[in-house]
């Protein structure tokens, strides 16, 4: 990016007044990844209050549509978040001329992060996305929107988004290193700092993917063993109202569930309201904060009634 966007309509210099008090960004601590476009395909723009008020933010962390969701990564340490030197051309006479702005790079470490997170984050590299972040002073740092109540993610050059797992040594714990560059179109002057958050970085969370393995299928019901796909932990505490079931074939439609019993951690005996017919294909779905059950209902492991 050259950043030679000189405003030739103005024949004077820009005014240089500063307010007596303004919010200054602190060290980046909690990056919040956000898709570049929303579910309608429009460039993502959020109300600032969606990111500063917990009651608004938590539904976004759990949004059913992945394009509308915010993806917190965790607490970063030893963050370096700087713009490289600008590039100048030097004439034989010694005169220099501005060529382009240096790229802005983020690099930081999550201490004791699970290594599975490396794969999850590296798979983002083909997406178009950006980030906001919470700084060490618990302020939101984001990009200006179309008006003062709105904000947008600071776009990331996804070609540069990379995580690396750093093994533990005698002197340091295991860590996950993340680095990326801002998209060359993103300017420091467009970044805004918002204070007054009613939550802290340790309140935010990313979702765990969960999937089910089925057994004991019969016309009366089945057993679903539900675990997180990356980490294998049991998904406990689901209630009957967290589940929905539908017949996929031969007669698509909702199925009423009569009961659910968690017989052991993450193992649920599900009973149908009315007996199903042999050969029916049933799909179970679930919904609960902190989990993404889309793998369970993606059509790859439906239940066929024996």
Binding-site size, another protein (CB under 8 A): 15
Residues 281, 301: contact at Cβ < 8 Å? no
Q: Is 281 in the site for another protein (CB under 8 A)?
A: no
Considering the rule CB under 8 A, would residue 215 count as an interface residue with another protein?
no
Residue for token pair 């608004």? 56
Q: Residue 250, preceding bond cis, omega within 30 degrees?
A: yes
Bridge partners of 264?
A: 267
Enter the tokens of residue 59. 């539904």
202 binding another protein? (CB under 8 A): no
**Residue 60 in contact with another protein, rule: CB under 8 A:** no
267 in contact with another protein (CB under 8 A): no
Q: Does 63 bind another protein (CB under 8 A)?
A: no
β-bridge mates for residue 209, sequence order: 292
Q: Would you say 239 or 277 has its CB closer to another protein?
A: 239
* 256 touches another protein (CB under 8 A): yes
| 110, β-bridge pairs | 176
Binder among 67, 125, 208, 220 for another protein (CB under 8 A) = 220
Quick one: which of 262, 104, 132 has its CA closest to 193? 132
Q: Using CB under 8 A, pick the residue from 2, 47, 200, 261 that binds another protein.
A: 261
Backbone conformation region of residue 196, classed left if phi is above 0, alpha if psi is from -120 to 50, else beta:
left
Task: Locate 5 and state its tokens.
Answer: 């966007």
CB of 241 to another protein, least distance (A): 5
- Chain positions 221 to 240 lying near another protein, rule: CB under 8 A, are 221, 239-240
Which residues contact another protein by CB under 8 A?
220-221, 239-241, 256-263, 271, 273
């Amino acid at each position: 990016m050259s950043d030679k966007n000189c405003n030739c309509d103005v024949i004077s210099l820009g005014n240089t007044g500063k307010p007596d008090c303004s919010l200054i960004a602190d060290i980046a601590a909690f990056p919040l990844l956000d898709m570049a476009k929303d579910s309608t395909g429009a460039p993502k723009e959020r109300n600032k209050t969606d990111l500063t008020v917990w009651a608004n933010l938590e539904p976004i962390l759990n949004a059913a549509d992945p394009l509308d969701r915010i993806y917190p990564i965790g607490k970063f340490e030893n963050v370096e978040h700087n713009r490289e030197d600008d590039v100048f051309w030097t004439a034989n006479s010694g005169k220099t001329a501005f060529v382009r702005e240096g790229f802005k790079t983020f690099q930081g470490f999550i201490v004791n992060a699970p290594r599975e997170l490396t794969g999850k984050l590296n798979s983002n590299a083909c997406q178009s996305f950006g980030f906001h972040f919470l700084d060490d002073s618990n302020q939101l740092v984001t990009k200006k929107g179309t008006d003062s109540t709105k904000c947008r993610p600071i776009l990331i050059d996804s070609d540069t988004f990379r995580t690396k797992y750093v093994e533990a040594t005698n002197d340091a714990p295991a860590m996950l290193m993340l680095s990326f560059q801002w998209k060359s179109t993103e300017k420091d002057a467009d970044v805004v700092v918002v204070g007054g958050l009613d939550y802290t970085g340790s309140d935010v969370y990313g979702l765990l993917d969960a999937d089910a393995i089925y057994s004991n299928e019969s016309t009366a019901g089945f057993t679903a063993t539900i675990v997180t796909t990356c980490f294998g932990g049991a998904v406990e505490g689901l209630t009957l109202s967290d589940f929905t079931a539908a017949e996929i074939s031969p007669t698509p439609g909702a199925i009423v569930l009569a009961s659910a019993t968690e017989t052991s951690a993450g193992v649920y005996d599900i009973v149908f309201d009315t007996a199903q017919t042999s050969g029916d294909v049933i799909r179970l779905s679930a919904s609960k904060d902190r989990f993404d059950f889309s793998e369970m209902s993606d059509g790859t492991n439906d239940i066929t009634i024996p």
